[in-house]
Amino acid sequence: MDNQDKKSQAKKWFLKGLRDGIPIAAGYFAVSFALGITARNAGLTWYQAALASLLCNASAGEYAGFEVIASSGSYITMALITAIISARYMLMSITLSQKLAPETNTTQRLFVGFWVTDEIFGASSTVPGKLNPHYNYGLAVCSLSFWALGTSLGVVVGNILPALAVTALGVLLYGMFLAIIMPEGRKNKKVGLLIIISMALSFALSRLPNVSALGEGTRIIILTLLIAGTAAFVFPISDAKKEDGSFEA
């Protein structure tokens, strides 16, 4: 295949990625709008929030980062908490790297890894045969543009609306997290138990002497390591289930 054919194929895959990214973009816009309210409450301007969304393509990690900013936490705390919360994207990137064509260069692979989100990973994984990186680029450009746009608009609207309305809109993000964890919690009793334990421990740590004095970001790091480590030890996933992609313990 000559260079002209390669460019033509790259364009076709990119345009297909743009089209397939439209439903993802619609969902991202609604969620990131609520995230923008959180950014506004942390004191960020609309362009700072948009830049944060472009550089941190993870709702939970970005939310945690905004919470650290709001609580005047340290850069180290922010780096640790976002790294822990977003660790799964490293595994997704490794998986997609195995699906890329052998001739895909290092720069292209880095862009694919940088733009990985749960939804982009899911869409890219369904591509039959080898994955053309330009399809991933199309998905990312379409969906993440609206992610950043929604975040910036959330800040702008948050600066206009009354305080009570801003508080009400801020609850939307918690609703998004519940929508993510509750279906899995209902399907898997062990996951449901861990969700309840997480909520109880989070409340306890916010009230216990000495521990409650720690920053919110530090408490989240402690809880994440404690609960995730204990769950991995108590409810290990068998090798057979790892191979078939099952997440049930």
pLDDT at 32 over 90: no
pLDDT at 196 over 70: yes
Domain ranges of the chain: 3-171, 188-249
Between CA 157 and CA 197 the distance in angstroms is 35
pLDDT at 135 over 50: yes
Model pLDDT for residues 2-28, shown as the tens digit of each residue = 677 778 888 999 999 999 888 888 888
Please give the share of the chain, as a percent, with pLDDT higher than 90.
Answer: 19
pLDDT at 123: 85
Contact in structure between 67 and 42 (CB atoms under 8 Å):
yes
Between CA 43 and CA 54 the distance in angstroms is 18
Model pLDDT for residues 149-186, shown as the tens digit of each residue = 999 998 998 777 665 665 565 565 566 566 656 776 78
pLDDT at 180: 55
Model pLDDT for residues 42-100, shown as the tens digit of each residue = 999 999 999 999 988 887 788 888 988 988 888 888 888 888 778 778 878 888 888 88
Mean pLDDT is lowest, of 44-48, 141-145, 218-222, 245-249, for 245-249
SS3 readout for 121-179: HHHHHCCCCCECHHHHHHHHHHHHHHHHHHHHHHHHHHHHCCHHHHHHHHHHHHHHHHH
